Amino acid sequence: GTSTFEFLVDKKSLFKTKDPLAGSIDGKENTPPLKVEFDIPAGAKKLTIEIGDGGDGVSCDHSALGDTKLLTPQALTAEPEGKLPTVWGAVKSSY
């Protein structure tokens, strides 16, 4: 499958992939890393990362944010607001 990534700060889009990213059909090769860089405005409250289906549906879309770092001029800790629920167990048991 393919995926898109969009990064929003306080609901304003600051970065979006131009084209969908795709891995290999057999899953043996990873997609090359994507460096995402943008300035977060002073006073920003919320960073949202949206992962889309790339326009071809959600079948076999597997996306990850590996080795992600949020770098700031000050030593701040960012706590995730919530985790995306998964239904993979339910999907897998229905084969």
d(CA 37, CA 24): 25
Q: Which of 41, 36, 33 is nearest to 7 (CA)?
A: 36
Q: In this predicted structure, what is the pLDDT of residue 67?
A: 75
d(CA 90, CA 95): 9
CB-based contacts of 30: which residues, under 8 Å, 6+ apart? 23
Token pair in block for residue 84: 């995306």
Q: In this predicted structure, what is the pLDDT of residue 46?
A: 92
**Per-residue model confidence as pLDDT tens for the chain (95 residues):** 788 899 999 999 999 998 887 776 666 777 777 888 888 888 999 999 998 888 777 777 778 777 777 776 665 555 656 655 555 444 444 44
